[in-house]
Structure 1
Amino acid sequence: MLKFVILLSAVACALGGTVPEGLLPQLDGRIVGGTATTISSFPWQISLQRSGSHSCGGSIYSANIIVTAAHCLQSVSASVLQVRAGSTYWSSGGVTASVAAFKNHEGYNANTMVNDIAIIKLSSALSFSSTIKAISLASSNPANGAAASVSGWGTESSGSSSIPSQLRYVNVNIVSQSNCASSTYGYGSQIKGSMICAYTSGKDACQGDSGGPLVSGGVLVGVVSWGYGCAYANYPGVYADVAALRSWVISAANSV
């Protein structure tokens, strides 16, 4: 059976909070090779929270729309969700906004993890500043090997019962869909058209939160989704492919 990795603390161990219902428990949420940072370097990053506890990451698409992973929004109602934006710390600072509604991709499949993307509509618009900014959606994928970064508040060791208070990030390199599905790595046919991968030796894309941003060239290229282990040599982190899912995001943002 697929052993999903909590790429970036969505269900990572206890996450300092509750594990979102509907997420698979057999996850290895280790953070490998990460560095502390501030929100000014990643102003599109938000903390998605359930009943006040950090649950997942996400990215600011517009003043009232957040992009995250569909697996972060299973078995939950909008009334218990809020977003914290503009803060280096998930538990304080910046601003919070309640969630008016959200929409999961209609083709999301929890078994295969295809189309693992969702959008959230906030009850009130964010005010943009040096620490709160939208990020554009990629319209095409970066080249194989391109530099990228992923950020979030993921757990720092396997089995940890808490998450770091300060935002962290790791630099990785893009692994194209075709390369990720090739014999070079261990996933094979589990890599689908709605996925893109990223990897760097000794580090991993499970650095940060599920639902959080994979950024390359200043645009959002991926949404943290799943993986095997963490920093395993033949298993890159797997992300929802934003370029492939871009039209859905734009349509959903206009209709939610």
Structure 2
Amino acid sequence: MTTLRQPAPRTEQPRTLNAVIFDVDGVLLASPHEQAWREALEGFAEPGRFTTAMYQAKVAGKPRLAGARATLDALGVPDAARHVAVYAERKQKRLEELIAAGHVKAYPDALRFVSAMRALGWPIAVASSSKNANGMLQTIRLPSDESLLDVFGANVCGRDLKRGKPDPEIFLLAAGALHIAPAHCVVIEDAPAGIEAARAGAMGALGVARHDDAALLQAAGADLVVTSLDAIAIDALAGGRLSRVAA
């Protein structure tokens, strides 16, 4: 049984921030991952029992097989271990169909935030355990005629990792690819497992609560939780501090 890593003890605002690592699904993109996980349950469990809250708490941010096992266990599917591979394969097939049908959109606030980080000249990386992340990012075209994937200085999406989130491996790889010390990076995540991974890597952790799940992100150890990246004070971030826009 996997033992979840506990969030690192809270410190004051993590040092001076000067780089950003973005998760993909739920942060940059509204993707059909949750829909694919739900629809692939047919024959294993009642799809209607798979809620957004379950997806955020049990599945989001985890590698495919880990997400499949977590879902089947949470739903009490008998002999869950035997069905994990088949369920994961079904989910992947359905996800590819949904992506091909155009069910991927970028969050406008995320695009504005990425643009602001580029204007500051900050190194930015994209880091997702999903092997579909690169393909989805390439479908988003920017006014500059770049794809969204093109704007990142480092990309560690879809890597074969020894350990998935909440282990910090993927974010440490991203920091290394940017040549920035982890303590100077802020990770933007929408899933508790991702926040825990950022904390375990001694990085700043910014939670984006797009699904009325701010409490989960706070409990995971986020330094700050917002419902939109428009709420981040860019002038403060330019000075290395993570804070909310003043009311």
- TM-score normalised over the length of structure 2: 0.27
| Bigger share in strand | 1
| Structure index of larger Rg | 2
| Bigger share in helix | 2
